[in-house]
C-alpha cells in the first residue's frame, strides 16, 4: 500500500512539474519572449491585404535568420489594409526593393514575416516602406476552395450536382418512410424499461435505413482503404481526446486517483505518444479508466429513466442522453473554434466507431428482432458497467455519439450490437 501511495505521489509531482514547465513554455511562446534583443534598430512599414493570425512581436526572418520583430499592427482607413510596423536590427541591411510575405512555421505553427532581399543599390532606412508584400495564406479559404472545386469537378455540371443532391434527399426520405412502415408489436410499450417502444421502433427503423444507405457504406469504404494499424492509431487518438472527460467524471464519482492518472495519460500520450497515436501510458501499466457523465449521474443516484433511441446516434436512456451535454463541453475539440476542423473531426470519429462495429451489425441482422436484441444488450451492458466498477460499458451512451469515448475493441461482445 505504501509503495502504491509513493507511486501515486511521484506521478502527481511529475504531472504538476510538467504542467508548470508547459505553462511557462506557452507563456513565453504566446508573448514571443523566447529571445530578446537589446540593440537599437530602425523601423520600416509594410501594408498587407490580410495578415491572418500575425501578432505583435512576431518574428521577422530572412533566410531563416531572425532579423527583427513586428512592433505594431494597425488598420489604415485610407488604403483599407493592415499596416505593420517592423523593428529591424541595425546589423541587418536590406535593399530598398526587398519584398515581405507572411509565412507560417510548419503546418499550424506561428505566423511570421519573411523578407526576400531585392537588388536595389539603396538600402531600407528608418521610416522606409516595403512596397512589395504578399498577404497571409488563410488555411480555411484554401480548404473551402479545394472542397468547392472538388464538388464541381465531381458533379461535372451544375445540373448533375443538383441531381445528386436530389438523390441524397430521396434516400433520406426513403429512410424516413422505412421508419413509418416499421412493424410495431401489439404488446409495444408494456416493457417497464421501454414505455416509448412505439416511437423508439420507428426511430430505430429510420436509423437502420440511414445506416444502410449512407453510414455503413462510408464505414466499409474507410475499412477498405485504410490499413488496420492506421485505423487502430486513429482510434487511440480519438480515445486520447476523451481523457479530460474521463478525469473529470472519475473525480466527480469520488475516484480522485483514477482522475489524476487519466490526466497523466493525457499528458504522456499527447507528447511521447504523438497526440495519442501510441498508447505509451498503457505500456507503463497505466490503463485507460473511461467514465462518462451518464455513469456519474447514476453514481449520484439519478434513475436511468426510459429507454430512448436517439435519431442517428442510436440506443440510450434519458439519463445517458442528458449526460451527453457535459460531454460536449469536456471534449477539447469543442473549443477549437474552427468549423472546418470540428465537424470533420466528429464525422471521422463517427465513421471510425461505425467501422469497428461492422462484424456486430452483420450478426445483428440475423436476429429475430434486432430492436429487442439491441435494447436488451444496451441496458444490460450499461447496468453491468455500473455494478462492476471497471469503467463504462463497451457501448457508450448513444453508441455512435461523436462525443462519447467509444471503446469498441471487443467487437465480438453482444453489447456492441446496439451500435446498429
The dihedral sign for the CA sequence 360, 203, 197, 404: positive
pLDDT in tens, 62-113: 988 889 999 999 998 988 899 999 999 888 889 988 999 988 765 455 788 9
- pTM assigned to the model: 0.52
| pLDDT tens digit sequence for 166-225 | 555 555 555 555 444 555 565 566 788 889 988 988 898 888 888 888 888 988 898 899
Give backbone dihedrals phi and psi of 225, rounded to 5 degrees, phi first: -90, -10
Rounded CA-CA distance 96/126 in Å is 11
What digits encode the pLDDT tens for the residues 11-58? 656 666 665 665 555 555 544 444 444 456 899 999 998 887 788 888
Confidence band (pLDDT; 50, 70, 90) for 146?
low
| Alpha-carbon gap, residue 416 to 222, rounded angstroms | 19
The answer to whether the beta carbons of residues 420 and 361 sit under 8 Å apart is yes
Residue 394 has phi, psi (to 5 degrees) of: -60, -30
Amino acid at each position: 500500500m505504501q509503495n502504491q501511495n509513493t507511486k501515486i505521489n511521484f506521478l502527481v509531482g511529475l504531472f504538476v512539474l510538467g504542467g508548470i514547465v508547459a505553462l511557462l513554455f506557452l507563456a513565453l511562446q504566446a508573448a514571443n519572449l523566447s529571445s530578446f534583443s537589446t540593440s537599437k534598430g530602425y523601423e520600416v512599414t509594410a501594408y498587407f491585404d490580410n495578415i491572418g493570425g500575425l501578432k505583435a512581436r512576431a518574428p521577422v526572418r530572412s533566410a531563416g535568420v531572425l532579423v527583427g520583430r513586428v512592433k505594431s499592427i494597425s488598420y489604415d482607413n485610407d488604403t483599407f489594409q493592415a499596416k505593420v510596423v517592423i523593428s529591424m536590427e541595425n546589423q541587418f541591411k536590406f535593399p530598398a526593393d526587398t519584398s515581405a510575405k507572411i509565412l507560417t512555421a510548419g503546418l499550424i505553427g506561428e505566423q511570421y514575416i519573411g523578407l526576400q532581399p531585392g537588388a536595389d543599390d539603396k538600402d531600407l532606412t528608418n521610416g522606409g516602406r516595403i512596397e512589395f508584400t504578399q498577404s497571409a495564406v488563410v488555411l480555411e479559404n484554401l480548404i473551402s476552395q479545394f472542397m468547392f472545386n472538388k464538388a464541381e469537378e465531381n458533379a461535372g455540371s451544375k445540373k448533375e450536382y443538383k441531381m445528386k443532391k436530389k438523390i441524397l434527399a430521396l434516400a433520406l426520405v426513403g429512410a424516413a418512410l422505412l421508419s413509418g412502415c416499421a412493424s410495431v408489436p401489439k404488446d409495444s410499450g408494456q416493457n417497464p424499461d421501454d414505455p416509448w417502444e412505439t416511437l423508439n421502433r420507428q426511430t430505430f427503423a429510420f436509423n437502420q435505413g440511414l445506416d444502410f444507405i449512407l453510414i455503413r457504406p462510408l464505414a466499409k469504404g474507410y475499412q477498405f482503404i485504410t490499413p488496420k494499424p492506421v485505423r487502430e492509431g486513429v482510434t487511440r487518438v480519438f480515445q486520447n481526446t476523451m481523457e479530460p472527460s474521463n478525469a473529470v467524471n472519475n473525480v466527480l464519482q469520488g475516484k480522485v486517483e483514477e482522475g489524476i492518472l487519466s490526466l497523466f495519460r493525457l499528458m504522456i500520450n499527447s507528447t511521447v505518444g504523438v497526440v495519442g497515436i501510441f498508447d505509451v501510458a498503457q505500456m507503463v501499466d497505466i490503463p485507460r479508466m473511461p467514465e462518462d457523465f451518464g455513469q456519474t449521474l447514476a453514481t449520484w443516484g439519478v434513475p436511468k429513466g426510459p429507454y430512448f433511441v436517439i435519431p442517428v446516434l442510436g440506443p440510450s436512456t434519458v439519463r445517458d442522453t442528458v449526460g451527453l451535454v457535459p460531454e460536449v463541453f469536456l471534449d477539447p475539440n469543442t473549443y477549437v473554434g474552427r468549423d472546418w476542423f470540428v465537424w470533420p473531426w466528429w464525422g471521422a470519429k463517427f465513421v471510425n466507431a461505425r467501422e469497428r462495429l461492422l462484424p456486430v451489425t452483420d450478426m445483428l441482422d440475423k436476429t429475430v428482432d434486432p430492436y429487442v436484441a439491441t435494447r436488451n444488450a444496451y441496458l444490460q451492458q450499461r447496468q453491468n458497467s455500473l455494478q462492476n466498477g471497471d469503467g463504462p460499458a463497451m457501448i457508450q451512451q448513444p453508441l455512435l455519439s461523436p462525443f462519447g469515448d467509444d471503446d469498441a475493441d471487443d467487437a465480438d461482445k453482444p453489447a456492441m450490437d446496439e451500435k446498429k
